[in-house]
Structure 1
Amino acid sequence: MIPVTGFDGQKVAVLGLGRSGLAAARALREGGALPVCWDDNPDARAHAEDEGFACENLLQNNAFEGVATLIVSPGIPHLYPAPNPVVTAAQEAGVPVDNDIGLFFLSFAAPGWDEFDVPPKVVAVTGSNGKSTTAALIHHVLESVGRPTQIAGNIGRGALDLDPGVENEVVVLELSSYQTELARALTPDVAVFTNFSPDHLDRHGGIGGYFAAKRRLFSEGGPDRAVVGVDEAEGQFLAGQMAEGPGDRRLIRISAARKLTGPGWQIFARKGFLSEYRKSRQVGSIDLRAIPGLPGAHNHQNACAAYAVCRTLGLAPKVIEAGFKSFDGLPHRSQIIARHKDVTYVNDSKATNVDAAAKALSAFGKIRWICGGLEKEGGLDGLLAATGSVVKAYVIGREAAGFAMALKGVETEVCTTMSRAVERAMAEAEPGDVVLLAPAAASFDQYDNFEQRGDDFIAEVTSRL
């Protein structure tokens, strides 16, 4: 646990008692603060009370009297599409609003660090897609060379659940836009921007607000080194904002779409080969084609980002390559779950938006595609160009018929349930086919989260093999 500093003896309100909220309450108490907690869910309140936390309705009159700050869990809106009433009450009372990531950066550095020859570093990874894989890949490579490392944030543990830093350690944080948009402190040593595509637009008031939330990690944080994917206009703009000149080595540009040139530090992947250039000269390369845990161009982009971070941390290209080769990938992200009668079954339930699904589709040929769910703002037109390898789509979800109609030019079958979709895809699959779950939609119409959806796919496949 990272004890939160700066609030000793002060009352701090905590709104939302899920993983990050409870971790924040524990860390605040450990640091001497007096947490006052609230969640609309009575079961969540009961859990907190079992741990000895006081729960008080933060909408009661004078609830914020004497409160130093309000800590808000990531899923709770503070501005768009409308602020949570508790957030509004805090702001009207003049109480600052923060989140667990802000508390982490405020509190991670400890007095004992003065005795370290090499103090801990923090790598923070954001972007629209590939954050989890990139963060996990960095963490895996560091583990493979025996360097102390922990991973948290939007993956694994809450940031404040981490152990205090030790000498030469690297903490890897995956940060969503919900986390970066509100944190009052953002000071990573290395910040990563993987890529950008529209997502969570209602929460951020449009695409500009979504990009602004991502950009805060760089503009507010001032990282010692920035790794920026430049395959979209937003990434190019961000790279331009971070660099003081063409040869500024504090910026590493990455791409999975084209060769990068220029006097600066560039890392790109083309035709399955990763290349590192500095001052217009190649200084490192990796053949990514035979690495099973990193299939497809989108994973090659993740590999470029992870490679850049590991090079920043002093690892040699061959050492990084060895780490890549032992990486098995993450559950629900291009996860190969079975091969049977020359048919491959792949779980990419994390492909919850159009861009992520398009990248999953581009990684394979002859696809029996299971898709559908709670469609996100913007529709499916941006996905159609990537459907050339789709033999047939098997559509799930409560609005499966409407989703199928939007897949113009693709043969579809309305299945509604995962069970029916898997049954039909397996019955029609031929040798060489890939049965791919890449929903291009949120899961909440049928499942609690994308993990549960992916687990259902795995269970349905394995029960039929």
Structure 2
Amino acid sequence: MIPVRGHEGQTIAVLGLGRSGRATAAALKAGGADVVAWDDGPSGREAAEAEGIELRDLTRASAYEGVSLLVTSPGIAHLYPAPHAAIQAAWEAGVPVDNDIGLFFRSFAAEGFEEFDTLPRVVAVTGSNGKSTTSALIHHILVENGRPAQLAGNIGRGVLDLDPPQDGEVVVLELSSYQTELARALTPDVAVLTNLSPDHLDRHAGPGGYFAAKRRLFAEGGPDRAVIGVDENEGRFLANQLATAAADDRVIAISSGRKLQGPGWNVFARKGFLSEWRKGRQVASVDLRDVPGLPGAHNHQNACAAWAVARSLGLGPRGIEAALRSYPGLPHRSQRVAEKDGVAFVNDSKATNVDSAAKALAAFPRIRWICGGLEKEGGLASLAPQLSHVAKAYVIGREAEAFALKLPGVEAEICGAMAVAVARAMEEAEPGDTVLLAPAAASFDQYDNFEKRGEDFVAEVRARL
């Protein structure tokens, strides 16, 4: 646990009592604060009471008497489409609002750091797609090369649930736009933007607000080094804003699909080969085509980001390459579930938006595509360039028929349920095909989350092998 400092003897309110909320309450208590908390759901309140957390209805203005700070969980809207009633009440009472990420960065440096030979460092990864894989891959590379490391944030453990850092340790955080937008402190040593595509637009009032939330990690934090995906205009803009000259190697540009030139520090992947260039010359190259845990151009972009971070932390090319080859992949993200009779089965349930689904489709030559769910804003039009890879679509979800109508030129079967889709895809698959779950939609019409959807796919596949 990372005890939260600076609030000794103060009363701090915590809104949202899921995993991160309860960890925040515990870390505040460990730092000497008094904690009151609230959750809209009775199960959250019951869990908190069982852990000895005092409950107080924070939607009431009177609840903030004597409260110094409100700490809110990332899933709770604090501005758009409308602020939660408890956050509005905090505003009215003049109580500052923060989240666990802000508390973490203010509390990370602990007594005893001055005795370490190498100060602990924080790597923070954000972006629309690939941030989970990139974060896990960075962590894997560090561990495989003998560097102490922990992984937390939007993946795995809550940030305040981490162990106090060791000498030379690297903490790798995956941060969503919900987390970066509100945190009052953002001071990573290395910050990463993988890419940007439309997502969570209701929470940020459009693409401009979404980019602004991501940009805070760099503009507010002032990292020693920034790794920026420059395949979109927003990334190119950000890299240009951060660099003071063309050769400024505090900014490492990464790309998937095009060669990056110039005197700066660049890492890019083309046709399956990763290349690192510094000061106008190539210093390393790796063939990624046969790396099993990183299939497709989108994963090659993740590899570029992880490579850039590892190199900025002083790791050598050979050690990084060996770790890339041993990376097992993450569940629900291009996860190879099984192979039988020349047919591969891949779970990419995390492909909850059109951009991530398009990248998954581009990774395989001939696909039996399981798709559908709760469609997000923006429609499905940008999938068109990759639909030529689809032999047939098997559409799930409550609005499966409407979803299928938005896939022009693709043979589509309305399946509704996952069990039906998997059964039909397996019946019709031929050697060389990939049965791919890449829904291009949220899961909430049928499942609690994308993990449950992916687990259902895996279970249905394995039950039929």
Question: If the length of structure 2 is used for normalisation, what is the TM-score?
Answer: 0.99
User: Once the 2 structures are TM-superposed, how far is the Cα of residue 42 of structure 1 from its aligned partner?
Assistant: 1.0
The CA RMSD measured in Å over matched residues stands at 0.6
User: Once the 2 structures are TM-superposed, how far is the Cα of residue 190 of structure 1 from its aligned partner?
Assistant: 0.1
One-letter identity of the residue aligned with 1:94: G
Write the mapping of 1:154-233 to structure 2, written as runs, cut at 5 A: 154-233=154-233
Write the mapping of 1:144-155 to structure 2, written as runs, cut at 5 A: 144-155=144-155
Distance (Å, rounded) in 2 between the aligned partners of 1:124 and 1:42: 33
Q: Tell me the percent identity.
A: 70
SS at match of 1:13: strand
User: Once the 2 structures are TM-superposed, how far is the Cα of residue 59 of structure 1 from its aligned partner?
Assistant: 2.1
SS at match of 2:62: coil
User: Once the 2 structures are TM-superposed, how far is the Cα of residue 325 of structure 1 from its aligned partner?
Assistant: 0.6
1:152-199 deviation line (CA, Å, top 9, x unaligned): 000000000000111000000000001000000000000000000000
Distance (Å, rounded) in 2 between the aligned partners of 1:143 and 1:435: 32
SS at match of 1:181: helix
Shift in CA distance, 51/424, structure 1 to aligned 2, threshold 3 Å = same
* 1:133 matches 2:133: yes
Contact residue 61 and residue 93 of structure 2 kept, 8 A: no
Distance (Å, rounded) in 2 between the aligned partners of 1:241 and 1:420: 50
User: Once the 2 structures are TM-superposed, how far is the Cα of residue 61 of structure 1 from its aligned partner?
Assistant: 4.0
Match of 2:239 in 1: 239
SS at match of 2:346: strand
Distance (Å, rounded) in 2 between the aligned partners of 1:267 and 1:410: 36
User: Once the 2 structures are TM-superposed, how far is the Cα of residue 409 of structure 1 from its aligned partner?
Assistant: 1.2
Write the mapping of 1:217-366 to structure 2, written as runs, cut at 5 A: 217-366=217-366
Match of 1:31 in 2: 31
One-letter identity of the residue aligned with 1:336: R
User: Once the 2 structures are TM-superposed, how far is the Cα of residue 65 of structure 1 from its aligned partner?
Assistant: 1.1
Write the mapping of 1:4-19 to structure 2, written as runs, cut at 5 A: 4-19=4-19
Write the mapping of 1:55-66 to structure 2, written as runs, cut at 5 A: 55-66=55-66
Contact residue 293 and residue 329 of structure 2 kept, 8 A: yes
SS at match of 1:69: strand
Write the mapping of 1:371-410 to structure 2, written as runs, cut at 5 A: 371-410=371-410
Distance (Å, rounded) in 1 between the aligned partners of 2:41 and 2:322: 46
Distance (Å, rounded) in 1 between the aligned partners of 2:22 and 2:333: 27
Distance (Å, rounded) in 2 between the aligned partners of 1:67 and 1:257: 52
User: 4+ residue runs of structure 1 moved beyond 4 angstroms?
Assistant: none
Contact residue 125 and residue 193 of structure 2 kept, 8 A: yes
One-letter identity of the residue aligned with 1:58: L
User: Once the 2 structures are TM-superposed, how far is the Cα of residue 60 of structure 1 from its aligned partner?
Assistant: 2.7
Q: Which moved more, 1:224-233 or 1:384-393?
A: 384-393
Q: List alignment gaps of at least 5 residues for structure 1.
A: none
Match of 1:423 in 2: 423
Distance (Å, rounded) in 2 between the aligned partners of 1:36 and 1:408: 54
Distance (Å, rounded) in 1 between the aligned partners of 2:326 and 2:258: 26
Contact residue 418 and residue 456 of structure 2 kept, 8 A: yes
SS at match of 1:323: helix
1:75-132 deviation line (CA, Å, top 9, x unaligned): 0000000000100000111111000000000101002101111010000000000000
User: Once the 2 structures are TM-superposed, how far is the Cα of residue 146 of structure 1 from its aligned partner?
Assistant: 1.5
Distance (Å, rounded) in 2 between the aligned partners of 1:131 and 1:101: 16
1:339-390 deviation line (CA, Å, top 9, x unaligned): 0011000000000000000000000011000000000011111112211110
Distance (Å, rounded) in 2 between the aligned partners of 1:380 and 1:34: 49
Distance (Å, rounded) in 2 between the aligned partners of 1:173 and 1:154: 7
Q: How many residues align?
A: 465
User: Once the 2 structures are TM-superposed, how far is the Cα of residue 66 of structure 1 from its aligned partner?
Assistant: 1.1
One-letter identity of the residue aligned with 1:363: A
* 1:123 matches 2:123: yes
Match of 2:143 in 1: 143
Distance (Å, rounded) in 2 between the aligned partners of 1:67 and 1:55: 13
One-letter identity of the residue aligned with 2:273: F
SS at match of 1:406: coil
SS at match of 1:463: helix
Q: List alignment gaps of at least 5 residues for structure 2.
A: none
SS at match of 2:112: helix
One-letter identity of the residue aligned with 2:187: T
Distance (Å, rounded) in 2 between the aligned partners of 1:159 and 1:405: 43
Write the mapping of 1:424-443 to structure 2, written as runs, cut at 5 A: 424-443=424-443
1:262-297 deviation line (CA, Å, top 9, x unaligned): 010010001111000001011111111111000000
One-letter identity of the residue aligned with 1:159: V
